[in-house]
């Protein structure tokens, strides 16, 4: 070992020992993992920057967390929903107060630029205000009964203990999409946070603690697949809400089916923007740019296919490539940065591998980007140049598979029906978009595009919290998060029949005699 290297190691060890330790949150206490093990939360823009050390949790930690959630369940369920909501409104205010700090923490652990991280925290705030309002609604309905002097209605009841498994790409927004509706419906939860972004979940949960959410109602276990698996298999967990890869989602769904658990899945996407020949091209280029490269392409909603009319294809590609080359890649903490790093080494390797696949696909042209950045300010991070492939065919692997990185492909078409067919011809169905000035074409596309979300004259990203979020086919399993639709995940219906006739009635009557 060289002297310089030894000194560097020593320095690293010194920084390691002074790194802040964070804990699991179980039954209202901040506790270590019973494994006694830890893992480092590393800044993907600079791997020398260790943000904190987090417990590497195991089955026993999950058992403890579920037991705490169980112990707190009855009291929380019996707390009137408007009272639960009052605490959640307080939570929204606390999140607002801490927005700047939470934003910086998020950029540091996840890499996305400050503006986007701020948007992520804001999405959690919006979700909290919006969903807390449900505490005074949680509507059921009344309906006539078949018998005289009988009343019929239905109400929502909590499902019980919910296991929430969250991803890295929206470190505060996605946990809030699951947590807030679960709580307003009267459930208690155990969160298994994304292992690359544990601090944002801790920040969210500390805010919940400050808002006065009772002990045991929310529990957090940090770590990798072991706690996730234990949560999915735990017999006292009634529901799993998962956002992540389609492969993991399928395994979770299979396990949940075996145990009769409710399961809600939000998984991959291969979203497309159609650009018609009558579109405002500058607007379409700008939308495509941010749809493709915002969050370094690490959104389920990313615009990873651009399906462009033959007549404007050349012009569109030229403008897109010109704009892409000018994007400023760098550390998200620098306000001038437009595209940050990708989340970790494994993700980077996967993306670079897809770039190689793209290069080897028949006639596909690497129009710009395609490399890892390794020099100067990039040397300690996971940076990939924003990459555009042109002349891509609809069946190429880079046009079919989710890459989840700063890579987009341009495909040419001649008729709107062909474009719609291309967009629908993938295994996912999250988001789609069309740029056109023609109202007839836009309505036709809105009807024919088989996705959960569809945009006109705007990219495939930017869903708002009060509309249902989710997708068709391989993207999900029929549920929707956000909006009021999310209440259907976190509550079960109970139908109530009240006989006020005061008379003796045959219990099992089929024919009604008046
Ligand atoms: C995701 O990538 O999983 O619509 C969520 C959007 C964001 C949410 C994306 N509001 O792009």
Let me know whether 432 and 484 are in one domain.
Answer: no
In a domain, 466, yes or no: no
Residue range(s) defining the domain that contains residue 279: 271-456
Q: What pLDDT sits at residue 33? A: 97
Q: What pLDDT sits at residue 508? A: 52
The CA 148 to ligand 1 mean position distance, Å, reads 50
Let me know whether 181 and 129 are in one domain.
Answer: yes
Angle at 408 between CA 418 and CA 440, to 5 degrees: 35
Q: What pLDDT sits at residue 476? A: 96
Q: Is 463 in the pocket of ligand 1 (CB under 6 A)?
A: yes
DSSP for 247-299 reads HHHHHHHHHHHHHT-EEEEE----EEEEE-TTS-HHHHHHHHHHHHHGGGG-S
Q: What is the DSSP letter of 216?
A: T
In a domain, 511, yes or no: no
pLDDT score of 507 more than 90: no
Cα–Cα distance, 52 to 69 (Å, whole number): 26
Let me know whether 81 and 157 are in one domain.
Answer: yes
In a domain, 56, yes or no: yes
Let me know whether 391 and 417 are in one domain.
Answer: yes
Please name which of 308, 337, 335, 336 lies closest in space to residue 320, comparing C-alpha atoms: 308
Global confidence as pTM: 0.94
- Catalytic sites, residue numbers: 266, 300
Q: Is 404 in the pocket of ligand 1 (CB under 6 A)?
A: no
Let me know whether 189 and 276 are in one domain.
Answer: no
Please report, rounded to a whole number, the percentage of residues in the chain having pLDDT higher than 90: 93
Residue of 115, 299, 429, 462 best suited for mutating to test ligand 1, as the one with most atoms within 8 Å of CB: 299
In a domain, 145, yes or no: yes
In a domain, 471, yes or no: no
Q: pLDDT category, 504, cuts 50, 70, 90? A: confident
Q: pLDDT category, 510, cuts 50, 70, 90? A: low
Let me know whether 213 and 314 are in one domain.
Answer: no
Let me know whether 242 and 334 are in one domain.
Answer: no
Let me know whether 306 and 419 are in one domain.
Answer: yes
Which CATH number characterizes residue 437's domain?
A: 3.40.309.10
Q: Is 170 in the pocket of ligand 1 (CB under 6 A)?
A: yes
Indicate which atom in ligand 1 lies nearest the CA of residue 294.
Answer: 11
Going from the C-alpha of 120 to that of each of 5, 90, 110, 295, 452, the distances in angstroms are: 39, 19, 11, 11, 21
Q: pLDDT category, 2, cuts 50, 70, 90? A: very low
Domain total for the chain? Answer: 2
Q: What pLDDT sits at residue 506? A: 64
In a domain, 215, yes or no: yes
Q: pLDDT category, 502, cuts 50, 70, 90? A: confident
Let me know whether 322 and 337 are in one domain.
Answer: yes
Q: What pLDDT sits at residue 54? A: 98
Q: What pLDDT sits at residue 503? A: 79
Q: Is 299 in the pocket of ligand 1 (CB under 6 A)?
A: yes
Q: What pLDDT sits at residue 1? A: 43
Mean pLDDT of 78-85: 98
Both tokens of residue 302?
């990313």
pLDDT tens digits along 282-331: 999 999 999 999 999 999 999 999 999 999 999 999 999 999 999 999 99
Let me know whether 298 and 417 are in one domain.
Answer: yes
In a domain, 445, yes or no: yes
109: number of Cβ within 10 Å: 25
Residue pair 129/180 in contact by the 8 Å Cβ criterion: no
The CA 462 to ligand 1 mean position distance, Å, reads 6
Order of strands across the sheet that contains 161-165: 29-31, 24-26, 218-221, 188-192, 161-165, 239-243, 262-266
pLDDT tens digits along 240-252: 999 999 999 999 9
Let me know whether 254 and 113 are in one domain.
Answer: yes
Q: Is 462 in the pocket of ligand 1 (CB under 6 A)?
A: yes
Which CATH number characterizes residue 36's domain?
A: 3.40.605.10
In a domain, 503, yes or no: no
Evaluated on CA atoms 196, 200, 202, 205, the torsion sign reads negative
Let me know whether 237 and 299 are in one domain.
Answer: no
Indicate which atom in ligand 1 lies nearest the CA of residue 461.
Answer: 11
Q: Looking at 98-196, list the stretches that DSSP marks H as alpha helix, in order from N- to C-terminal side.
A: 99-110, 114-132, 173-184
Q: What pLDDT sits at residue 325? A: 98
Contacts of 378 (CB under 8 A, 6+ apart): 329, 330
């Amino acid at each position: 070992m060289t002297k310089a290297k030894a000194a560097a190691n020593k320095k690293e060890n010194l920084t390691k020992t002074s790194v802040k330790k964070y804990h699991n949150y179980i039954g209202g206490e901040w506790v270590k993992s019973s494994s006694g093990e830890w893992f480092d939360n590393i800044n993907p823009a600079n791997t020398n920057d260790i943000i904190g050390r987090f417990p590497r949790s195991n089955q026993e930690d999950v058992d403890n967390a579920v037991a705490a959630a169980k112990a707190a369940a009855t009291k929380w369920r019996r707390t009137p929903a408007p009272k639960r909501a009052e605490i959640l409104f307080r939570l929204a205010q606390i999140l607002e107060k801490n927005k700047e700090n939470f934003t910086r923490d998020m950029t540091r652990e996840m890499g996305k630029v400050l503006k986007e991280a701020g948007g992520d925290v804001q999405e959690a705030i919006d979700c909290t205000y919006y969903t807390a309002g449900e505490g005074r609604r949680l509507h059921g309905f009344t309906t006539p009964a078949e018998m005289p002097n009988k009343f019929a209605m239905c109400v929502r009841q909590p499902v019980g203990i919910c296991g929430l498994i969250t991803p890295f790409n929206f470190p505060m927004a996605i946990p809030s999409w699951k947590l807030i509706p679960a709580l307003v419906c009267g459930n208690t939860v155990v969160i298994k946070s994304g292992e690359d972004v544990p601090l944002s979940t801790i920040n969210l949960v500390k805010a919940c603690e400050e808002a006065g959410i009772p002990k045991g109602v929310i529990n957090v276990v940090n770590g990798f697949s072991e706690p996730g698996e234990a949560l999915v298999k735990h017999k006292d967990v009634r529901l799993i809400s998962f956002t992540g890869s389609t492969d993991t989602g399928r395994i979770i769904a299979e396990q949940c089916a075996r145990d009769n658990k409710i399961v809600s899945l939000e998984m991959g996407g291969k979203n497309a923007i159609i650009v018609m020949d009558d579109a405002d091209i500058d607007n379409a280029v700008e939308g495509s740019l941010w749809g493709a490269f915002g969050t370094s392409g690490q959104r389920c909603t990313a615009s990873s296919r651009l399906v462009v009319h033959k007549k404007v294809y050349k012009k569109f590609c030229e403008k897109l490539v010109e704009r892409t080359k000018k994007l400023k890649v760098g550390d998200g903490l620098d306000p001038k940065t437009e595209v940050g790093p990708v989340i970790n080494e494994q993700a980077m390797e996967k993306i670079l591998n897809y770039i190689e696949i793209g290069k080897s696909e028949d006639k596909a042209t690497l129009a710009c980007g395609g490399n890892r950045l390794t020099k100067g300010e990039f040397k300690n991070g996971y940076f990939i140049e924003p990459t555009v492939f042109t002349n891509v065919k609809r069946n190429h692997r880079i046009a079919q598979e989710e890459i989840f990185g700063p890579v987009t492909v341009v495909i040419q078409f001649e008729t709107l029906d062909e474009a719609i067919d291309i967009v629908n011809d993938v295994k996912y169905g999250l988001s789609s978009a069309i740029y056109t000035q023609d109202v007839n074409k836009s309505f036709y596309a809105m009807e024919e595009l088989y996705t959960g979300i569809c945009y006109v004259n705007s990219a495939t990203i930017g869903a708002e919290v009060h509309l249902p979020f989710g997708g068709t086919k391989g993207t999900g399993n029929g549920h929707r998060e956000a909006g009021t639709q999310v209440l259907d995940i976190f509550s079960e219906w109970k139908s109530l029949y009240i006989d006020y006739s005061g008379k003796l009635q045959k219990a099992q009557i089929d024919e009604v005699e008046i």
